Amino acid sequence: MADIIRLLPDHVANQIAAGEVVQRPASVVKELLENAIDAKATEIKLIVKEAGKTLIHVIDNGFGMSETDARLSFERHATSKIQAAEDLFNLNTKGFRGEALASIAAIAHVELQTKKEADELGTRIKIEGSKLITQEVITTPTGTSIAVKNLFYNIPARRNFLKSDAVELRHIIDEFQRVALAHPDIGFVLYHNGNELFNLPKSNYRQRIVNILGGKTNEKLVPIQEDTDIVKISGFVGKPEFAKKSRNEQFFFVNNRFIKSPYLHHAINAAFEGLLKEKMQPSYFIYLEVHPETIDINIHPTKTEIKFDDEHSLYAMLRATVKHSLGQFNIAPVLDFDRDANLDTPYDYKNKQAAVPNIQVDRSFNPFADEKKTAGNTTTQPRYTNYKKESTEGWESLYVGLESKSNSNQFSTENIEFESEEMTSSLFTNEEPRETLTYQLHRKYIVSSIKSGIVIIDQHRAHQRVLYEQLLRNITVSEAVSQQLLFPVTFTFSTSEIALLKEVKESLENIGFMFSNITNDTIELSGIPSNISESELQIIIEQMLNDFQGEIPDTGFSQTDVLVKSLAKSMAIRTGKKLEVEEQESLVNNLFACKEPNVSPFNRTIFITLSVDDLDKKFI
């Protein structure tokens, strides 16, 4: 029998490796940005076209590469970050496997231009599908410029699995923000299809967070700081009143590397225990510095998971640090229930000595002394000359005649006559009391009678179905009713959320929203749908954004479906709301006028029926 095991060609091995390294355009962005950071760049520019499917271009001003290094960088397992296996446990750089560029070059057209500061000329290399096309000497600025074009051009199946441009761009922005938040000392710029999405100058951590998430983020942040032998903790947590249902503003960085850690996330939630409403998520931007030998980074292909040597100690320190900061800034309640914060000494007077008051007392003042006697005494004249004691002589005269008045019939009501009201017959003489057809049970269910028995309806799910079909019809027909606001309302969102709102702006306008202005971090509404109150507006929009970012719709139809489902869920009446009889009947009638009254938009049962036979069996 012939041998069946053989070595794979390099280009095939690179394509297989690319399956782990490059999952989507955002994976390429992450690898290229990390390489630019490892090159000690201070300014990094990212240019993207068609959400990275056509072009991903990263330009940095790092130390560049020589001609030999430039060619060798595209070989598998070629890296400048480590030399021995022991170096894996003492990593201070981003990339170290030497697979990124080789994997990217195997599935795209790559053009590299680089030059070291000491060299007069640089190098340009073109590679297509792991094949070297050209290598030449050029004139180029110091640093590296690498352009990745036509991603997955030779693997059509992988390209077909990519989502829409909006979805892929969202993933790119997420990776860009993670890298930018970890390195505020580096300036970042992001362009998409010629439009500038981010321009982040060099700053500190707090300013970088504000530049990315919007100007009003500054007032939401509470700083945390703790320095121990095991870990150095710094960063910010969000105030509980600004918590959201989404987890988009939760970031952990270990040695300036973004990670995901459910274990550490639980420590943050434990510190916020009792401060957050149900299903609300805290915001945090936490930077951890540990000794490189105490962590293992090489346990996940994307290096977003890290193994700690002593997770339990880190958990306890993180929880205590966050809890201490919340208490220090009067975010969390203190144990002294009799303490009044209004009585605390202001900071301006904290170290000042109290001044001794100067009080002048007239020791000769006597309010019971006779006014005539004090008037004759010139040496002991009282200070308060306006004081005069009233005479109490003849007080008995105040009650003279009361007894005789009480015995008189002056206030007798016998002679008072009342005007009788004329009784008039009603307009409809045969009017009967209105029969009640529905009944609300526990402010959750609506009970109504039918010919065969009774029907029990979940009011929240029923209203979801009614709103879902109504909103879907409004989007299709574009005949929604909008109520104009006397004063336009403005809301602040992050850049990625604004991009998402621009994407669904037309659908929102068909429902009844009217946008008067949209900037990079704010939206201004001059009109809202008639069945939405202004007080609930921000909650509804935030819930919609959260659902969009979680569902990540692809096609236009699914995008509209997610939008309508989210709005229907947010606008529907809640369990616990008391409904009048007219409201109950209207909801029941509207429900059974729907095309699918049996299930909610989320495929959950809306009502159940109990026949008379079922009820009779209960009494057997």
CA distances from 335 to 93, 179, 332, 448 (A): 45, 40, 10, 51
Express each pLDDT in 2-22 by its tens digit.
677 777 776 666 666 665 678
Q: What is the mean pLDDT of residues 534-555?
A: 74
Which region among 40-44, 68-72, 551-555 has the lowest average model confidence (pLDDT)?
Answer: 551-555
What's the pLDDT score for residue 162? 86
Is 0.75 surpassed by the pTM of this model?
no
For the chain, the domains span 10-200, 213-328, 440-609
Which region among 71-75, 239-243, 342-346, 605-609 has the lowest average model confidence (pLDDT)?
Answer: 342-346
Nearest to 295 by CA among 285, 286, 305, 287: 305
The architecture in CATH of the region 10-200 reads 2-Layer Sandwich (3.30)
What's the pLDDT score for residue 415? 59
Query: Is residue 483 classed exposed, middle or buried when 0-12, 13-18 and 19+ CB atoms within 10 A define those classes?
Result: middle
Q: What is the mean pLDDT of residues 143-158?
A: 89
Query: Is residue 574 classed exposed, middle or buried when 0-12, 13-18 and 19+ CB atoms within 10 A define those classes?
Result: exposed
What's the pLDDT score for residue 507? 82
What's the pLDDT score for residue 547? 77
What's the pLDDT score for residue 391? 60
Query: Is residue 195 classed exposed, middle or buried when 0-12, 13-18 and 19+ CB atoms within 10 A define those classes?
Result: exposed
Pair 514, 527: CB distance under 8 Å: yes
The letter for the amino acid at 585 is E
What's the pLDDT score for residue 287? 94
Count of residues making up the chain: 620
What's the pLDDT score for residue 483? 85
CA distances from 194 to 46, 48, 108, 146, 199 (A): 11, 8, 22, 18, 13
Q: Which residues of 271-306 are buried (b: 16+ CB within 10 A; e: fewer)?
A: bbeebeeeeebbbbbbbbebebeebbbeeeeebeeb
Which of the four pLDDT bands, split at 50, 70 and 90, describes residue 292?
confident
Express each pLDDT in 354-404 by its tens digit.
778 788 888 888 877 765 554 555 554 545 445 555 566 666 666 666 655
Which of the four pLDDT bands, split at 50, 70 and 90, describes residue 202?
very high
Q: What is the mean pLDDT of residues 176-189?
A: 94
What's the pLDDT score for residue 605? 93
Task: Look at residue 86 and tell me whether its pLDDT is greater than 60.
Answer: no
Can you tell me whether residue 445 is helix, strand or coil? strand
**Number of helices (H), then strands (E), in the chain:** 18, 22
Pair 454, 463: CB distance under 8 Å: no
Express each pLDDT in 442-491 by its tens digit.
889 999 888 888 999 999 999 999 999 988 888 777 667 788 888 899 88
What CATH number is given for 213-328 in this structure? 3.30.230.10
The structure tokens listed for 466 are: 């009614």
Which of the four pLDDT bands, split at 50, 70 and 90, describes residue 265?
very high
Task: Supply the mean pLDDT for the chain.
Answer: 81
The structure tokens listed for 316 are: 């306890």
The DSSP bridge partners found for residue 448 are 438, 455
Which of the four pLDDT bands, split at 50, 70 and 90, describes residue 84?
low
The DSSP bridge partners found for residue 455 are 448, 609
Q: What fold is seen in the domain 440-609? A: Ribosomal Protein S8; Chain: A, domain 1 (3.30.1370)
Task: Look at residue 220 and tell me whether its pLDDT is greater than 80.
Answer: yes
What's the pLDDT score for residue 235? 94
The letter for the amino acid at 449 is S
